[in-house]
Structure 1
Amino acid sequence: MPKKMGVNSKAEVARARKSATESERKDRESREKEEQYWREAEGAKSRAAKKREDEAEKRAEVAARKAEAKRLAELEEKELEKSMKKPDKKANRVSVPVPKVTEAELQRRREEEQAELAKKAEEAKKRHARTAAEEEYERMVLVTNTNRDESVIEARSVEEALEKMVVADNLPVDRHPERRLKASFKAFEEAELPRLKEEKPGLTHNQYKDMIWKLWKKSPDNPLNQVAE
């Protein structure tokens, strides 16, 4: 028969202690996991609730601001309508009767309008005729006479022409005949220039002087013409 071995009490105690420690550790870990689970569940729920509360507060603030803005806008609109409202002037307005126009009055107005149009047409016709006459005169002045004429004095100016004029032998003795001719022509020019400007407006100064020179040669105020007589 095999030899019966004895039981080691110390080993048994050690195994029992180790088993108890392991069981206690497992229980502690299980409790910690459960507590961690509930803490996380409660924490998430609390954050969600807080978020919902914040959003509700924001919506309430926005709604309150909109309501206040609407109230102020309505109040401002009422004040504006009140200020723009004016008293009805038609209530106190006295109707003025419109005078009736008779057929004779209409005929008279038509005749006046036709007369006014005819007057304007006549004025335009006169202006056109005067312009045509001035243009014709200007062409006559600008035409150069190529024929030689002994009575024509070639000069660049009226003063030069006066100096070249030949004094007749039967004139009285005059120490300065050119001065007397110039003075007479100057007086003649001053008298004729305003008249020509009024009769033939729009010409140049040289054209007026040409006309005055032609008139001067035939004028009785010219001392040479006085001697010839």
Structure 2
Amino acid sequence: MPKKFEGENSKVAVARARKDAVKQADQKKKEEKKEEEYWKDDDKNVQKKLQRKDEKEKKKVEQLEKKTILKSLADQEMDAIKAPPKQASSKVSRLQIQAELEKREAAAKGKGSQTKVVPVENIDAPIPENINRVVIDGEIASSVDEAIQVLRISGTAAEIERHPEKRMKAAHTAFEERHLPRLREENPNMRLSQIKQMLHREWLKSPENPLNASPSQYNKKN
């Protein structure tokens, strides 16, 4: 019985080995591709998770900011409710009194009245800020009506003095020339505007002020 040719078996083995190698290579490629796809999907999921986390943190921060703002507004409202209401100031400036007097004088003239308006103070004289009370013959008026009442009481004296407002400016200038150097020397650290305020307060009370001259003083001078 003749022997089989051994070369045929080796060819078959080689072919089979090649086939197995190709199969293994294909299998390896499939596994690598599958693994690559897996990691791609995992990266996407990680990015989505991180994005969701960032959004969640932002929402928390926004909510905290809103709560802080609302609390601040609520505190302000409570403070406004607790705070006592501001009362309207009853003080009145000399210019307001003068304007009211002129207004009433015009109304009186329209009715044929002979009401005489006594000026509070020469408008040309320097008037410092925050001087809201009127002092006339020792009387203090803090409202228009009070000032007018005081002026009516002292109207006779003012009439006897024959319009002191006409010599008010000259008297004030002379008063300032005499007393301003003294005040500047006594208060070297004060500004000129502050010194003039002090001077004006002295002028309001000074007997050199024509508005402060009583009828008896005027008669003595004359």
Q: Using structure 1 for the length normalisation, give the TM-score.
A: 0.41
Structure of higher CA gyration radius:
1
Greater relative CO, 1 or 2 (CA 8 Å, sep 6+): 2
Q: Using structure 2 for the length normalisation, give the TM-score.
A: 0.42
